[in-house]
Amino acid sequence: MKQAQEIDFSDLATKADIAILKVDLANLRSEFGHFATKADLSDMRTDMIKWIFTIVLGQGALIVALLKLLPGSHL
């Protein structure tokens, strides 16, 4: 009994502390809504691959066209 009376309860969380924590968590959740999701990043990656592939094909076509227009300039 004596040990139970000597316990310091001042470090325990109160209902007010828990309410404040819930508000803070709600604020964090709303802030995380502005970040990109994995699906967004996957879509962006797919778009980048399409653009890079298109650019590489365009450069290849440009090189072939220049070689045909300037036949004496290559080996």
What is the percent of the chain where pLDDT is above 70?
Answer: 88
What is the percent of the chain where pLDDT is above 90?
Answer: 44
Nearest Cα to Cα of residue 54 among 46, 69, 40:
46
What pLDDT is attached to residue 42?
A: 92
What pLDDT is attached to residue 9?
A: 72
For residue 20, give Cα distances in angstroms to 10, 15, 17, 31, 50.
17, 9, 5, 17, 48
The ranges of the chain with pLDDT < 70 are 1-5, 73-75
What pLDDT is attached to residue 12?
A: 85
Dihedrals φ, ψ of 38, to 5°?
-60, -35
With a threshold of 0.75, does the pTM exceed it?
Answer: no
What's the pLDDT tens digit per position in 28-46?
Answer: 888 877 788 888 899 999 9
